[in-house]
Structure 1
Amino acid sequence: MADETTDLYINASGSSAVNLEMTNNSSTGPESQLDKLIIYPIVPIMFFSNLGLITNSLNVAVFIKMGLKETTNISMLSLAVSDFLSCLLGLWTYLCYIPEFRNIPNLPFEPTEVSSETGSSPRPYVTRTGALITAFITLERCLCVVLPMKVKRIITIPVTRITMIVIYAITLIPFIAHPLYTTLGWKYYPHLNKTLIGAIPTNDAIAPTFLLMNNFLVGFIFLLFAIIVIFVCTLFLVITLAKSLRWRDSMRKQTQTHGSSGQASSQKFSEPRKENRLIKMVVVIATLFIICHLPGTILIFLVPVVDKYLEENFNDPFLILQVSFIFAFELVNNSVNFFVYYLIGTKFRFTFRQMVGLKDKKSTS
């Protein structure tokens, strides 16, 4: 049971230095600690996993419909794909830990071990992809503010496409080496008296080094870099947005005092308003990312303490509750961007309503 609980923690947060041995002690009793782990957060995890599959499918469809002639659309489409995969892997992972699924007769595989290899193990790599893409989006918006006349020459459509490919490559390629540690194959389970597909260690000698390198690179370096960029850029954008709003209020008061033609006034405020709307959308997305990843990030920075605590207190219900809800918080972040786009992005909202057959006034922003 310690191995199953700790394994879910490792793959939910994407970091751990615990060197686990694969065990065959899958608990099937209705009152097992693993079952308790599932009971607490099952509703939010299953809800946000399914919600994320739906909303990110809509995001992909809408951004493709809008066209990929803007760098922002390319970045947000890439983020939607990453979030979709994260929700899919999260759903599969937790499905395999549900007692009713694990106890289905004649399953040809051991659910928790197979889900670890095909769901929870690759998921941290996918979530780091989303983190780096979010960092790129916030950085691009900052450059639009700092270098408004040069940014379109710096961040072009080809540059954005290449950047997205590179981000996916550097975060997902390390997972290719995962079979060096463990792979799937037929193995005998004495307590079940069955031979099932399960996780088989492939090279015990290289496993500790592989785990340490991957956890440090994917679980720590990528996440730390992304969070620093997102936090700094978001803070800058919030300050910029506040200044812009004060400037607009000041200009509006001057216009009311001295008078101005309606068309000239509209043109004067149109572009800043569009830019501010996009900044606001990026700020909300980045803030959601920071809030939802904060619990897991805190644990990652406390890895030595957490690992020791996991080994000594793996049956602590409070620990199980923490681990499970960290998983749920990440899924919240993966599933709610659609609502941000719809509520703030007028062009996104117009395109979506047009796709589903709802009448709306045409938007140009």
Structure 2
Amino acid sequence: MLTLEVNFSQHVKDDPMYISDEKMTTFIIVVDILVLGLFSVTGIISNIINMIIFVKQVLKDSMTVGLFSLAFTDFSIATLELTFSCTYLASVICPWSSVDFWALNNITLTWSICALYLTSCWITAIISLERCFCVVYPFNVKQIFTRGRCVLLIIVVYTLHISAVLPVYLVEKMEWLPFDFQANNGSVTSIQQRWIYSIAFSESTQELDIIMDITAGLFLFITPQLIVLVCSVWMAIALKLSSTVRARKDGDDNAALKSSTKYSNLTRQEKKLIKMVLFVDVLQLACNVPRITVIIYYHVVFPGLDMAVVKNFSTVLWTCALVINTISCFSNSLGYYFLNSLYRNMFRNLF
């Protein structure tokens, strides 16, 4: 972050959304560097382990290909987020650098992370769809979800979301710009000018941000969440119906057992499957809601905010959403370990 003492007017400093550079520096050290850095390292390590385990399964079908692709995407996200933390660390170590690290993070890194996170959400939706078909159409799923089709679909997803953020790099370019700042020389305060490698905000960049937030931030985020939710409900209903049919075929042989409050028609494997899908649902929802809330806050509740006022405030909100998104990069491993015996056994064999 560029720590220049910009000559804000008093009404700007009195705005409730205004956060001083001193407070922002503390936030950067605690959240951007320490918390996000720790979560990023955890995500990198956990997804390297995931990729090793899925490769050991020889990527024999579409499911393992999808899971490996998800692990690789989450690994890439965590790596970029670690770079994000390191860039902010550089801003603290070199506060008077001629490079605006805030702009570097929010242009070069943040949109790349956004594209990869969108890709991760859609790969998760594809995996959920295949799990749903395994229950609803068990005899046709292998013909529908082949390894070749899965690879092709993942390539399409990557291409689509990388293309979606390309306009940002074409319009929001970094360049050398003059900045005025206060220089204190004893009892004399003067306004001096420095050239900083940063981004120039204009009407075109603001319009592009609105378009990108609506498309990439809302539509492309909400759609995979809805797919995962629909697949989960569909699969749960199908499992319930199939268990009811099995119960009728069994007749009244186990009438005493069925009268127990702990009795369930679902098999142990079906219960694990439902827990896994529910885990993915809750994880996706918890990680996507903060980001969607921030977008709605800016473009619906308080549209047209002055960047001079909300630059630091905006960074705080987006960083909090980014930290929560980072949790999803390593939380998948917890679901695999506790709900998948094959993954758990292979994980234990690695150590």
- TM category, shorter: 0.7 to 0.9
Report the counterpart of residue 341 of structure 2 in structure 1: 346
Q: Percent identity?
A: 23
Residue 274 of structure 1 and its aligned partner are, at CA, apart by 4.1
The Cα of 1:332 is off from its aligned counterpart by: 1.0
Aligned to 1:181: 171
Change in CA separation of 1:141 and 1:117 when aligned onto 2, cut-off 3 Å: same
Q: Deviations over 1:192-248 (max 9, x none)?
A: 9765644467xx675455434433321122112112112222233344556667788
Q: What code does the residue aligned with 1:115 have?
A: N
1:331: Cα distance to partner? 1.1
Q: 1:96 aligns with which of 87, 96, 100?
A: 87
User: Aligned pair 1:170/2:165, yes or no?
Assistant: no
Distance 1:302 1:317, change over 3 A: closer
TM-superposition CA deviations, 1:271-320 (whole Å, max 9, x none): 96445534432331232111222222233344423443854995699887
Point out the structure with max Rg over C-alpha. 2
Are 1:118 and 2:108 an aligned pair?
yes
Cα–Cα, structure 1 residues 318 and 101, in superposed 2: closer, same or farther, change >3 Å?
closer
CA distance, structure 2, for counterparts of residue 313 and residue 105 of structure 1: 19
Q: Is the 1:70–1:157 Cα contact (8 Å) retained in structure 2?
A: yes
> Relative to 1, partners in 2 of residues 1:316 and 1:118: Cα closer, same or farther, differing over 3 Å?
closer
Deviations 1:339-361 (A, max 9, x none): 111111111122222233xxxxx
Alignment pair present for 1:60 and 2:58: no
* Residues 1:153 and 2:143 aligned together: yes
Amino acid at match of 1:344: L
RMSD: 3.9
203, 206, 230: which is aligned to 1:232? Answer: 230
Distance 1:305 1:33, change over 3 A: farther
Give distance in 1, aligned partners of 2:40 and 2:247.
42
**TM alignment of 1:330-345, pairs within 5 A:** 330-345=325-340
Greater Cα offset, 172-181 or 344-353: 172-181
The residue aligned with 2:61 is: 70
d(CA) in 2 for partners of 1:65, 1:35: 44
Greater Cα shift, 298-307 or 46-55: 298-307
TM-score, structure 2 length as denominator?
0.74
- 1:34 and 2:24 aligned: yes
| Residues 188 and 236 of structure 1, relative CA distance in 2, 3 Å threshold | same
Q: Which segment drifts farther, 66-75 or 322-331? A: 322-331
Residue of structure 1 in register with 2:127 after alignment: 137
Q: AA paired with 2:344?
A: R
- Report Cα offsets for 1:158-193 as digits up to 9, x if no partner: 111111111111111222333321234555656597
Tell me, yes or no, if the aligned pair for 1:278 and 1:345 is still in contact at 8 Å. no
Counterparts in 2 of 1:114 and 1:314: CA distance versus 1, 3 Å: same
Q: Judging changes above 3 Å, is the alpha-carbon distance between structure 1 residues 113 and 342 closer, same or farther for their aligned structure 2 residues? A: same
Per-residue deviation at 1:322?
Answer: 4.7
1:80 to 71, 79, 85: 71
Q: CA deviation at 1:33?
A: 3.9
Question: 1:141 Cα deviation (Å)?
Answer: 1.4
What's 1:19 paired with?
Answer: none
Cα deviation digits, residues 95-121 of structure 1 (max 9, x gap):
4335x6433278573322222222112
CA contact (8 A) 2:129 2:227 kept: yes
Q: Look up the equivalent residue of 2:70 and give its one-letter code.
A: L
Query: What number of residue pairs does the alignment pair up?
Result: 317
